[in-house]
Amino acid sequence: MSNAQVEIFVKPGCPYCGGLKRKLTQQGTPFAEHDVQSDPEALRRMLELNGGRRQVPTMQSGDEVTVGFHGT
């Protein structure tokens, strides 16, 4: 992953969100975390980025948007 600012859109209790956060932390990748359950603006931004899918985690790095996490 590049040095671009990474933003992740998550919800509490999501195991895939936790996996993504662990992976980014292990890689030393700084990220900004947005809780879509408690922040309506974060939910709106996530839906705009990922084509209206209510699926977490959604990650934006530069112009690239990734939906979901499969833990590799």
Confidence of residue 5 (pLDDT cuts 50, 70, 90): confident
- Determine the residue type at 35: D
Mean pLDDT in residue range 22-44: 96
Instruction: Return d(Cα 69, Cα 44) in angstroms, integer.
Output: 20
pLDDT for res 4? 54
- Report the range of poorest mean pLDDT among 1-10, 18-27, 35-44: 1-10
Structural domains in the chain? 6-67 (3.40.30.10)
With contact defined as beta carbons under 8 Å apart, do 38 and 11 qualify?
Answer: no
Q: What are 49-63's pLDDT values in tens digits?
A: 999 999 999 999 999
